[in-house]
Structure 1
Amino acid sequence: CSWSALFGLMFKMLIMAHSRPFGEGADHSIKNPGKPNAEIWAYPAWVMARSASMFSRPPTKTLVEVQMKTSPPSIRLSIILLLTLGALPAHADVQHKLDFESGLGGWSAIKGTSYFNWARWRGGTHSGHTGPASAHEGTYYLYLEASRNYPSRIAYLQSPEFDADLKNISFYYHMYGAHMGTLTLEGFDGSNWITLWVATGESHKSHGAPWTREAITLSGKGVRQIRFKGATTSKTISGQYRGDMAIDYVLVTTGEPKLPPPALWSKTDAGNDIYYAHGNIGIGDNQPKADLSILGNLSKPLTGRVTVPANSIYVSGVGTRFTKELAVGDSLRLGDKVFVVAGIASDIALTLDAAHPVGALNATAYTDSNLLSVETGAETSALLVDRSGNVGIGTANPAAKLDVAGGVRVGGETVCDAGREGTIRYNDAGDEIEFCDGSAWSRVEGPEGKQGLKGDPGGKGDKGDKGDKGDTGLQG
């Protein structure tokens, strides 16, 4: 429902509420000529005046004053409400300004292949015959140094991801210098960086030349993140230092952010909040944006209470079970500090990898728990991802990155390329295990073995056939 339709409906209801049959002190009347027996309704003068003018031109100050003076007191508030609703916008755009006066404003300068990064600067740049004399707005601007930074060295100034699609962007740039490279504005459409605008070569003729403003419409492109890409000259000859490009006063306009839907169901206890919202589940997150969103840490408390003196590595416990709940190398959080367990002497004594700076008294200690655990109905571990990242299938204590307690069935993969290098498959046709070397499948063969021992002499063979008579020898 648009605001104009809502406004028209409310105005119609207001007219009917204050109209009356003809002859009851009305100022004006309207009769439908197509229905001669229909009741004739009369309307006050203020209604007739308003209805004749409200859709032909915007209400003026004089018209509003006349209405307020001639309208019955009981409906003046209704008039004000209607006028207010009619003036409300259907949506509100949001502007984001980046002028470099107090930093990068949440944007990121990324060095890329450039020797130098985008630098926040005031006044002229280091080199002569290139760069602006001063900022366009305020004191500071951003520029990319070209000296000893070529050929084709690239650096980026990248925005954060905005909460809504970008509608337009405007900015000022300065590209003075005979060895100027290329300045590009790119946008991320959710899958690729696309080119939105590009300028190559010298476009300003002096330090003091006015900055150039560029405005680009982005509506409909689905872009929520942008970046400036500065590339120095591609020429390889020496002395290409006159290419200091600069940008200033970036203004980004986005649509109104869309708030996530409210939770359809939630259960809230102290420290244990679960939310369900339109197919997404949140644990500690009341606005989950993924199928499962967990906000918080995965640490678990240890049994008992612990104490560690200030500037000490020795931890003592009361009612603790260090040997059963911890192992050397595990993380241990004491207060707001995190340490690594260096040694475990007993269930009530252990040492840390570093001294606790302030100490803790009769506190609860926390360690990392397993990241994921799936058990069968018989409480048998089916799948587990432990705190070190090892995956166990059928085992609760995986000793390798993948530890399978049972057989592994390998399917018949067909594609072998660089992205699948190291993949193993079972070849049904040859009944062999094969692996992908990045270009082709080959048999899984072990290294060549050592030479075997000399075998026993074989048995005596059969007598051979009589040979041909030889040639006569030389006379003695």
Structure 2
Amino acid sequence: MKTTHPSRPFSLSLAALLGLATLSANAIEYTTGFETDLGGWSVIKGASYFNWARWTGGTHSGHTGPASAHEGSYYLYLEASRNHPARTAYLQSRDYPGSIQTVSFHYHMYGAHMGELALEGLDGGSWTTLWAATGQQHFSHGASWTRKEINLSGRTIQKIRFKGTTINNQKSSQYRGDMAIDYVLVTTSEPKSPPTALWSKSDAGRDIYYAHGNVGIGDNQPEADLAILGNLSKPLTGHIAVAKGATHVTGVGTRFTGELAAGDSLRIGDSVFIVTGVADDTNLTLDAPHPIGALNATAYTDSDLLSVQTGAEVDALLVDKSGNVGIGTENPAVKLDVAGGIRVGAETVCDAKREGTIRYSDESDEVEFCNGSAWSRVEG
């Protein structure tokens, strides 16, 4: 007979109806698939060295246990041997820094002499049952593993353990009780610790931070792989000079016409201006007077969004601040500017979504374009 023991009284909520667990924004996940080791879990051996074993493929006994792992190649299981009294073994987690919000795992319980599999949590200094299943839950080696998710939000549990107990197998024929678990996912409400700058400039607020796998530039709580707070900038070639209260900027060794255009931002010292006009490589005009002036200074402007160079420092790929893409050129003038040849493949589909697509036809040996419904030859 199959029985399932809930850990707490049943309560109905919208989250329960939708099968969702409410997680905090700072939730952190810990996954264990047992592919290389126990993944931070500890085996607590029972009597006669009865314990959880890492395994691949089917178990030693016939008519019990899974045929393979749920995820990957390995899983953990308990071998239910014959001629033994009831025995118990534990698989215990680490102490998590934050309270556990959810626990999910996959289990397989095929065998006519199946015991009980339970999940327990350390709550207030004592272990309490969070979930349990007794008796055969699956009816073949190849039966799909069952996924179980338990919502522990609102509680203060920071450690859990799996408890496997066999039945009293005193008869020589009672051995079909190999239970197994795989792919355990624990989500905690562990708060993010204040990030530490791995490197920083002298200017306040321009530190580089590393926090939970994310990198932040000027952002000490990066939520993306790379989060940048502020403008990307690059130094102009040469040095500039501007008098106090003046809008006219002169340069020495500068290349204003190649590096700037009207409307670009320009930082001189701690002040940021808009370029209103570029006369030549050494003269330009700002939109406002410089408050203190500058002499032999380096000016900064918006950088390219992406630049990939070869070992010879030649631009292989560049995306400038206006969104133009250059391949083999550092000054793309249009959305795609290629210095060199372009190879076009033999596309086959032409529809409204691909209107304007260009292809090279192997059949006609001509360049063709898609007009939204059919391929047409490009007229020379």
Interval of TM-score (by shorter of Structure 1 and Structure 2): 0.3 to 0.5
Q: More strand by proportion, 1 or 2?
A: 2
Higher share of residues assigned helix: 1
TM-score normalised according to structure 2 size: 0.43
**Bigger RCO (CA 8 Å, 6+ sep):** 2
Alignment TM-score, normalising by the size of structure 1: 0.35
